[in-house]
Amino acid sequence: MKKNVFIIVLMFSFIIFFQEICWAKATKNVWVGNASSVQTDVKEAVKEAAQQIKAQLGKHKPEYVILFSTVGYDSAQLLSEVKNALGKNIKIYGGTSCLAVFDQKGFFQGKTASLSMLAIASKKMKFGVGGADLNNNDPFEAGKTAILKAMENAGEKGKNPDLILITPAPGVEEGIIEGIESVVGQVPITGGSSADSTIEGKWMQYANNEVFNNGVVLTAIYTKLKIGLCFEGGYNRTVDEGVVTKSKDRVIYEIDNKPAAVVYNEWVNGEFNDVINSGGNILSRATFYPLAKIIRGSGDVWYTLTTHPSSINFPEQSLSTFSKMEKGDKITLMRGDWEILLNRGLSTPKTALKNGGLNRDEIAFGIFTFCGGAMLAIPEGEREKLPLLVNSVLRGVPYIGTFTFGEQGYVYGIGNMHGNLVSTMVLFSHKEK
């Protein structure tokens, strides 16, 4: 009797195990190839990465590739080489990254440039890439134009995508988001503003054959697969809070009816005494003392959307930031250190997994966007740990990462937002919703 029970249990275990294997095979809906290169020559770099990608994809022909590079390459040639390597019809989405790019294999910082590509082949996913020039359009229109192009490019004109990837030029992200949302509504948008390594405005945005230096590129993704999103600042909230009483666009003039810079300087214990009465750049130093807009989410959930003070303006002692502040916004001082920033490598994918209800084993790929300013605040030797931390969570799942000058993301219960010093991640599951 016992023997029979044991045999039956063993058989059931075998069947379940076999089914799992079959399911795993059966549920792999996305084929991903990704690689990075630090080759100086763009052709070689692309070739190196593409060879690996092809090898990973095997027989699967990529339909879409995400391309992040530093500003060291000739952008047009870069796109051309990518098409040459992965197929002329391949859809290219991406932009420039600050200093380096990264993936699950590590942190890639070339002598002159580096690139990282993640190519996807899936019948469960449709991709449409579109871009718009901000030089000729206002942000709203640019956003609107870009999403429309992307939807059209995906062959899903008129149909809202399930997710929008965004790579804008820094500066007017809020307007772009508004423009996108004006087309697709509250479709989650995630991504980050393109960046350069020297904050000289050399950033580029890639959209198929187009290269923008001040534009916005989007990918409209249509899929039934499960998606996990994260958009987090990770700083510690302090008790220093106030209400913006006067502002215009990204400049805070007053907090609690006091010069914003003075209030801010008081909150940071006089850290900027040297420039409070003269004005000046505080971008780097303010990395560990960002401000955050306190936003109420669904129910009693409060969210802090960090913004990066960039300079103190004299004589009005106002405070310029990298995100739009409006009168009445409740703001607070956040504090952090490079450890907190680095730990986003853990917390961001974990949160993405959690937010998407995803299991690590089902993840097909991911896209990680990390604030370039935050990255620069991490000690040079520690930066390499960032992709590894992500990998420690994802366990080898392919993902591509870029360092941006402004991040955009979707917060459940709040909607799409633009923030600074933030990291975002989107994870795609093999499983459908």
Residues engaged in binding other proteins (CB under 8 A): 106, 337-340, 342-343, 346-347, 350, 379, 382, 384-385, 388-389, 391-392, 395-396
C-beta closer to other proteins: residue 348 or 408: 348
**Token pair for residue 281?**
């750049």
**Distance in angstroms (rounded) separating the CA atoms of residues 426 and 228:** 5
Cβ proximity to other proteins: between 164 and 340 the closer is: 340
Is the torsion defined by CA of 413, 414, 415, 420 positive or negative?
negative
Region of 380 please: left (phi>0), alpha (psi -120 to 50) or beta. alpha
Nearer to other proteins, 333 or 397 (CB): 397
CB-based contacts of 292: which residues, under 8 Å, 6+ apart?
Answer: 233, 235, 237, 304, 305, 306, 307, 331, 332, 333, 334
Residues 264/333, Cβ–Cβ less than 8 Å: yes
The DSSP-derived string for 310-326 is: EEEETTTTEEEESS---
What's the closest the beta carbon of residue 288 comes to other proteins, in angstroms? 13
**Smallest gap from residue 34 Cβ to other proteins (A):** 17
For the residues of 239-264, what is the DSSP string, one character each? Answer: EEEEEEEEEETTEEEEETTEEHHHHH
The pairing of beta strand 30-37 with beta strand 115-122 = antiparallel
| 3-state SS, residue 419 | strand
Smallest separation (angstroms) from other proteins to the CB of 382: 6
CB proximity list for 236: less than 8 A, separation 6 or greater = 334, 335, 336, 340
Nearest distance from C-beta of residue 344 to other proteins, angstroms? 9
DSSP three-state, residue 172: coil
Dihedral class, residue 171 (left if φ above 0, else alpha if ψ from -120 to 50, else beta): left
Q: Which of residues 249 and 337 has its CB atom nearest to other proteins in the complex? A: 337
Question: Minimal distance in Å, beta carbon 234 to other proteins?
Answer: 9
Considering the complex, what minimum distance in angstroms separates the CB of residue 171 from other proteins? Answer: 31
Task: For tokens 């600050």, name the residue.
Answer: 98
State residue 203 phi and psi, 5-degree precision.
Answer: -65, 155
Q: Which is nearer to other proteins, 145 or 391 (CB)?
A: 391
CB of 127 to other proteins, least distance (A): 29
DSSP conformational letter for 60: P
Instruction: Say whether 218 sits in a helix, a strand or coil.
Output: strand
Pick between residue 225 and residue 341 the one whose CB is nearest to other proteins: 341
Whole-number minimum distance, CB 386 to other proteins, in Å? 10
Count Cβ atoms below 10 Å from residue 381 Cβ, excluding itself: 7
How many C-beta atoms lie closer than 10 Å to residue 99's C-beta? 20
Toward other proteins, which CB reaches closer, 270 or 379? 379
Q: How far is the CB of 106 from other proteins (least distance, A)?
A: 8
Instruction: Give whichever of 326 and 339 is closer to other proteins, judged by the CB atom.
Output: 339
- Cross-sheet strand order for the sheet of 215-223: 125-133, 215-223, 163-168, 189-192, 407-411, 415-419
- 158 or 381: whose CB is closer to other proteins? 381
Q: Which is nearer to other proteins, 172 or 340 (by Cβ)?
A: 340
CB 15, min distance to other proteins, A: 24
